[in-house]
C-alpha cells in the first residue's frame, strides 16, 4: 500500500466545514466572523507517552483528546485538526483501529481532519488542533484574581495510579485497575465545560502534567499565589470507592500524577452558584480545592490549617 492509498483508505473523508480538505497542498478554511482562533499542538511518542501494547483505537482517541483538552482549557470550540504520523510499517489492522478511535472522538466534537502528513519512521503522532472563541472570550492562564476560588473538574490521579500499576509499583483490585486504566487510556476532554466557562472562569489550564505544575502555570502567569486544602483532594480519585488508596499515594497521584486531562480554573467567590449550575448542566463534577492568594507561594494546608510539605514534582520530559 502506497502513501496516498493509505491516506485515502484510512484518513480521507469528504470536506465538511472546510472549503478544501485533504488532497491539496493546503487545507482551506473560512473562519467564523467575529471569532478568535485557538491553536495547540501535541506530539505523542511510543514508549514515552504510550506503551507499545496500547490498543490502537484507544491511542487514536487519546492522541486527539489531549489536544482537545488544550482547546477546552481556553474555552475554545473545536473546529479542525491536522495529523502528522510517522509509522514504522503499514499495519492495516493498527491503522484501522487508530483511525476509528480518532474519528469517533473527532465526530463527537465536530472537529474535522483537514490535513497532515504520513511518513515512515519511529511511531510518532503529532496533532495540531484549531478551535474558535467569540472575540475576546478566550480564557487565559494569566488572569486569575486574588480571592478567586480554585476548582478542578472531574477526577485526578487515576491515570497515574494505572501507570504505577502497569509498572508493578502497586497492586490494585481488578475493578479499581480497570477504572484507572480507562482514565489513562481513554481521557474525555472537558470541551463542553470549558466552553461554558467563558465569561465565568477568570483563568483556566488543563491538567496534563500534574495539578501542582499546571496550577503553577496559572499562578506564575497571573503573578499570584494559592492555598490548597488537602482535605478537598481525597475524593478526587475515581477509584476511591473501589479501593482505599494510601494517603501518600493519593497525594502524589492527585497533586503530581499527570495525564488527567481535566481543567483547573479560577472564578470569583460570587460565582459559586453559577459554577455549580454549569457543572450540573454538563454532568461534570467540579470540586473547589482552594483559593488564590497574594504573593507567589503555593501552600498546601491540612484539615487543621497546618502546612503540608510540598515535595511533589510535575512531569518534565527533559528534567
The residues pairing with 116 across neighbouring beta strands, listed in sequence order, are 83
Q: Give CA–CA dist 149/270, Å, rounded.
A: 9
Q: Give CA–CA dist 272/124, Å, rounded.
A: 42
Q: How far is CA 193 from CA 67, 77, 83, 212, 300, in A?
A: 15, 11, 25, 21, 26
134 binds its own copies (CB under 8 A): no
User: How far is C-alpha 15 from the chain's CA centre?
Assistant: 27
Q: Give CA–CA dist 120/88, Å, rounded.
A: 5
What is the nearest approach in angstroms of its own copies to the Cβ of residue 176? Answer: 29
For its own copies, which residue of 10, 11, 40, 252 counts as binding (CB under 8 A)?
Answer: 40
What is the nearest approach in angstroms of its own copies to the Cβ of residue 310? Answer: 18
26 binds its own copies (CB under 8 A): yes
109 binds its own copies (CB under 8 A): no
73 binds its own copies (CB under 8 A): yes
Name residues contacting its own copies, limited to 255-314 (CB under 8 A).
Answer: none
Q: Give CA–CA dist 202/268, Å, rounded.
A: 7
232 binds its own copies (CB under 8 A): no
For its own copies, which residue of 107, 122, 241, 244 counts as binding (CB under 8 A)?
Answer: 122
**Beta-carbon-side half-sphere exposure of residue 260 (alpha carbons within 13 Å):** 33
For its own copies, which residue of 9, 16, 31, 295 counts as binding (CB under 8 A)?
Answer: 31
Part of the chain binding its own copies (CB under 8 A), chosen from 66-74, 96-104, 184-192, 270-278:
66-74
What is the nearest approach in angstroms of its own copies to the Cβ of residue 253? Answer: 21
Q: Give CA–CA dist 51/47, Å, rounded.
A: 5
Q: Give CA–CA dist 181/272, Å, rounded.
A: 32
316 binds its own copies (CB under 8 A): yes
Closest to 185 in 3D by CA, of 152, 156, 158: 158
138 binds its own copies (CB under 8 A): yes
What is the nearest approach in angstroms of its own copies to the Cβ of residue 214? Answer: 9
Identify the three-state secondary structure at position 96. helix
What is the nearest approach in angstroms of its own copies to the Cβ of residue 73? Answer: 4
Binding site for its own copies (CB under 8 A): 1-4, 6, 19-20, 23-31, 33, 36-43, 45-49, 70-71, 73-74, 76, 80, 82-86, 90, 114-122, 124, 126, 128, 130-131, 133, 135, 138, 140-142, 204-206, 221, 316-319
Amino acid at each position: 500500500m502506497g502513501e496516498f492509498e493509505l491516506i485515502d483508505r484510512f484518513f480521507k473523508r469528504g470536506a465538511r466545514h472546510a472549503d478544501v480538505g485533504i488532497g491539496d497542498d493546503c487545507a482551506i478554511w473560512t473562519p467564523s466572523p467575529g471569532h478568535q482562533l485557538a491553536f495547540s499542538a501535541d506530539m505523542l511518542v511510543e514508549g514515552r507517552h504510550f506503551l507499545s501494547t496500547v490498543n490502537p483505537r484507544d491511542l487514536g482517541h487519546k492522541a486527539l483528546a489531549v489536544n482537545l483538552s488544550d482547546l477546552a482549557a481556553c474555552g475554545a470550540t473545536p473546529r479542525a485538526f491536522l495529523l502528522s504520523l510517522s509509522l514504522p510499517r503499514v499495519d492495516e489492522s493498527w491503522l484501522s483501529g487508530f483511525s476509528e478511535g480518532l474519528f469517533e472522538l473527532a465526530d463527537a466534537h465536530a472537529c474535522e481532519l483537514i490535513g497532515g502528513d504520513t511518513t515512515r519512521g519511529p511511531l510518532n503522532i503529532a496533532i495540531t488542533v484549531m478551535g474558535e472563541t467569540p472575540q475576546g472570550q478566550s480564557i487565559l492562564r494569566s488572569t486569575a484574581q486574588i480571592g478567586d476560588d480554585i476548582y478542578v473538574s472531574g477526577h485526578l490521579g487515576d491515570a497515574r495510579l494505572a501507570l504505577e500499576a502497569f509498572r508493578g509499583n502497586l497492586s490494585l483490585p481488578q475493578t479499581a485497575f480497570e477504572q484507572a486504566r480507562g482514565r489513562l487510556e481513554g481521557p474525555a476532554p472537558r470541551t463542553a465545560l470549558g466552553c461554558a466557562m467563558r465569561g465565568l472562569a477568570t483563568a483556566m489550564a488543563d491538567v496534563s502534567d500534574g495539578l501542582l505544575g499546571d496550577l503553577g502555570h496559572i499562578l506564575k502567569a497571573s503573578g499570584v499565589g494559592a492555598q490548597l486544602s488537602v482535605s478537598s483532594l481525597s475524593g478526587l480519585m475515581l477509584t476511591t470507592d473501589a479501593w482505599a488508596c494510601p494517603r501518600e499515594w493519593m497525594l502524589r497521584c492527585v497533586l503530581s500524577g499527570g495525564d488527567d486531562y481535566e481543567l483547573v480554573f479560577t472564578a470569583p467567590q460570587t460565582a459559586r452558584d453559577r459554577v455549580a449550575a454549569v457543572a450540573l448542566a454538563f454532568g461534570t463534577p467540579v470540586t473547589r480545592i482552594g483559593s488564590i492568594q497574594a504573593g507567589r507561594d503555593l501552600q498546601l494546608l491540612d484539615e487543621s490549617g497546618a502546612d503540608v510539605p510540598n515535595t511533589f514534582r510535575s512531569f518534565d520530559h527533559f528534567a
